[in-house]
Amino acid sequence: MPRSTEEVRRFDGVERAAHWLTALVVLTLVATGVILYVPALSLAVGQRLVIEDLHLYAGIAVFVPLAAALCGPWGRRLRADLKSMGRFTAAESAWLRSIGKRGRVAVGKFNPGQKLNTIAIGSMLTVLLATGIILRWFNFVSVYWRTGATFVHDWFALAVIVLVVGHILFALAHPVALRSMIVGTVPRSWTARHAPSWQAGAGPDATADAAALPPVAGPEPRTLNASLVGPELDAGAVVEAAGVSRRGVDAVAGRREVAQHGEGAPHSVPPVASSS
């Protein structure tokens, strides 16, 4: 049987734009932060004041793409996705505890690991923004507070770098999921394997965007030959015309006879009676 080419909408244009713009800002923050933190890189690049300003403005703008995507009616899907990020079912908790070995049937549009990663990165970026503001504009606070803000800022920045690198590596290891953040869709067969709860329209993150897009053109389905219809039609002809293994039908028929007559019953397949 040909593989289904039906596509399902996973992300709309607003979600994809918000993701890539935020990714650009975060990567700018990481690059400029590393340059400012490592003396050798700072000396090699030079223009320290320019790098500082770029780091500052990127930090201020880190939530701007997300806010712009959420503030209007165009952000309906994104709001629904973010709402689902904060909800974990008992099965999803089991998935986390077993590192994906249990609770796979309950996985929705986002698996629990993706939800946890999103929450962690969003929370840490918020802390980095707050501590960065203190370091830049709160010169009137005590040295104790500024030293604490520096400590927290540095360690949270390192944690964000680790999470971002991990996120990129996981995306590269799952090209279909990465493709969905570029073109917006995934094959329905992918949702059956990786997001069964979302495909079924159940779970905490089931949304209207699970509706399928028009199928992509593919091979024509095989149909029965009209010349086979008649008194001579038997089970073997039907099976061969449908492209199904005759051996599978024999096994099914055999099991039925065993159930009706016992173990010693012959496993033959009787001809299908004509409907005429």
Question: Looking at residue 45, which CATH number applies to its domain?
Answer: 1.20.950.20
User: Based on the domain organization, do 232 and 194 belong to the same domain?
Assistant: no
**How many domains is the chain built from?**
2
Label residue 127 by pLDDT band (50, 70, 90): very high
In the predicted model, what is the mean pLDDT of the chain? 79
Domain assignment of residue 1, yes or no: no
- Do 129 and 236 reside in the same domain of the chain? no
Is there a domain that residue 49 lies in?
yes
| For helices 13-37 and 48-60, angle between their N-to-C axes, nearest 10 degrees | 150
Most confident of 20-24, 103-107, 240-244: 20-24
253 and 201 co-located in one domain? no
Domain membership flag for residue 230: yes
For position 70, what pLDDT does the model report? 96
Q: How far apart are CA 161 and CA 137, in angstroms?
A: 25
Residues 254, 146: one domain? no
Q: With CA atoms as reference, report the closest residue to 241 among 256, 257, 225, 259.
A: 225
Residue 126 has pLDDT above 90, yes or no: yes
Six token digits for residue 154? 């540095």
In a domain, 88, yes or no: yes
In a domain, 258, yes or no: yes
Q: Which residue has the higher pLDDT, 197 or 39?
A: 39
Residues 23 and 75 in one domain: yes
Tens-place pLDDT, residues 209-221: 544 444 444 444 4
Q: 253 lies in which domain range?
A: 222-276
Co-location of 246 and 170 in the same domain: no
Kindly state whether residues 265 and 162 are assigned to the same domain. Answer: no
Q: Is residue 216 domain-resident?
A: no
Phi, psi of 77 (to 5 degrees): -65, -40
Do 167 and 269 reside in the same domain of the chain? no
Distance CA 101, CA 7 (A): 27
Q: Are residues 193 and 88 in the same domain?
A: yes
| Residues 123 and 234 reside in one and the same domain | no
Report yes or no on 180 lying in a domain: yes
Q: How far apart, in Å, are the Cα atoms of 125 and each of 33, 36, 163? A: 13, 18, 11
Distance, in Å, from the CA atom of 186 to the CA atom of 169, rounded to the nearest integer, reads 19
Domain-located, residue 232:
yes
CA distance 250 to 236: 9
Residue 212: beta bridge partners? 8
Q: What mean pLDDT comes out for the span 21-37?
A: 97
Quick one: which of 70, 95, 92 has its CA closest to 81?
A: 70
User: Which of 159, 183, 210 is a domain's end point?
Assistant: 210
| pLDDT for the residue 201 | 64
- What confidence tier does 183 reach under pLDDT thresholds 50, 70, 90? very high
Residues 206, 235 within the same domain: no
The reported pLDDT for the residue numbered 102 is 79
Same domain? For 226 and 171 the reply is: no
Picking from 153, 181, 210, the residue at the C-terminal end of a domain is 210
d(CA 127, CA 150): 11
